[in-house]
Amino acid sequence: MGRDAKSAKANNEARPTVVGKSCKVGGATGLLDQRLAEALQQHAAISEVLQIISASPSDVQRVLDTVVESATRLCGSQDAEIFRRDGDRLQLVAHHGMIPSGSVGTVTLPVARESINGPR
């Protein structure tokens, strides 16, 4: 096989080929499908949050609850929390999941250089 034929063959192998609903690039079909699914999930989560914001722009708690639920789902985690800094404390403002952490609005943590949540 000549040099030009080898080059053309290599270029054709690297080109995407549509097969059914999948895109195949040198055997990376699964990876592309996974990335597409992740991007669609992220898009759906962002759309959900934006819909909540536009439907009730003054209901911050509803927005935070939607964000924490979306984060839990997107990360594939069992639990997620959002804290807001209030002076030298962090206050729990949203929680989603089964791990008990206390009531939203009542749980606080110190902000300290030694703690995992402290400034860098």
Domain range list for the chain = 19-110
What type of residue sits at position 39?
Answer: A
Edge-to-edge, what's the strand order for the sheet holding 108-110?
Answer: 79-86, 89-97, 108-110
Hey, is 33 helix, strand or coil?
A: helix
Q: Which residue has the higher pLDDT, 94 or 24?
A: 94
Length of the chain: 120
Dump pLDDT digits (tens) for 80-90. 998 999 888 89
- Whole-prediction pTM: 0.60
Rounded mean pLDDT of 7-32? 54
Judged against a pLDDT cut of 90, whether residue 10 lies above it is answered with: no
Contact (CB, 8 A) for 56 and 66 = no
Is the C-alpha dihedral spanning 19, 23, 27, 31 positive or negative?
negative
